[in-house]
Amino acid sequence: MRKLILLLTLTQMILSSHLARAAKQVPLELDAKQWQILEYSNIPANRVSQDKYGIRIDVQASASPLIYIFDQPQSIQSISVSGTIGLLPMIPEGAQQGDRGADDFPFRLGLVLEGDRNLDLVQRLIASEWIKTLFRLAPEGSGIDHIRFLNLSNPEPVGWQHRVHPDSKGLFIESIVGQADSNMDFNLNHTLDMPYNVLALWISSDGDDTGSSYSLTLNSVSYN
């Protein structure tokens, strides 16, 4: 019996070690060609900079996507992010986070999923530049299915856990997967229901809806 228990323990240790080694790290150096800082039309952009701990995002009543583009689509089923956040979006009294006028989250991690959706000719003519850039991520002959967002909310309860963002025409699907506390380290660890082909990671922290100012630093991003 002791030999069996020892064997099982060793097997678990080997499996855990293998899984840990299998995790792929996203480099947090902004000068890497895979990182792109995009801007929305008519919304002030966040200030994104490099510091000794990783990537720092300063929000001043602003919002903008920070995109990491994979060299080729990655099959991802689990993802982990760690970092530090100072302050949180100031949600107006009586409003619920995610509502119009309160649609700011301290951290949104988006997985840009490969699919067959593309912009038609008219859409390419009128779409904002960040949308065109997003759809250019897809390899030749394919497109985007949607962006799966994993959100960290403020500690206060939010009345939904999953939703299609009402202003995204089905392109943004959001889930709240945890809470962030002011002036604290955070860890986002999430396993998807199945592996998905991911073209890019979309990282954002928002303050434009609520006029909020705060900062966030990414220390580590890894996936399996």
Point out the least confidently predicted range of 32-36, 101-105, 175-179: 32-36
Buried b (16+ CB within 10 A) or exposed e, 125-159: eeeeeebebbbebbeeebebbbbbbbbbbbeeebe
Q: How confident is the model at residue 9 (pLDDT cuts 50, 70, 90)?
A: low
Residue corresponding to tokens 């119009």: 100
* Mean pLDDT, residues 104-132: 86
Backbone angles phi, psi at 7, to 5 degrees: -65, -45
Q: How confident is the model at residue 4 (pLDDT cuts 50, 70, 90)?
A: very low
Average pLDDT over the chain reads 88
CB–CB of 117/145 below 8 Å?
yes
Query: For a pLDDT cut of 90, what percent of the chain falls above it?
Result: 69
Q: How confident is the model at residue 209 (pLDDT cuts 50, 70, 90)?
A: very high
Structure tokens at 185: 């380290």
8 pLDDT more than 60: no
Convert the pLDDT of each residue in 131-143 to its tens digit: 888 888 888 888 9
What is the per-residue pLDDT for 13? 55
Adjacent-strand bridge partners of 198:
74, 113
188 pLDDT more than 80: yes
* Mean pLDDT, residues 5-26: 60
CB–CB of 35/64 below 8 Å?
no
* Short-list 108, 128, 27, 115, CA closest to 70: 27
* Mean pLDDT, residues 170-187: 92
pTM above 0.75, yes or no: yes
43 pLDDT more than 70: yes
User: What is the 8-class DSSP label of residue 58?
Assistant: E
* Mean pLDDT, residues 16-28: 72
* Mean pLDDT, residues 44-60: 96
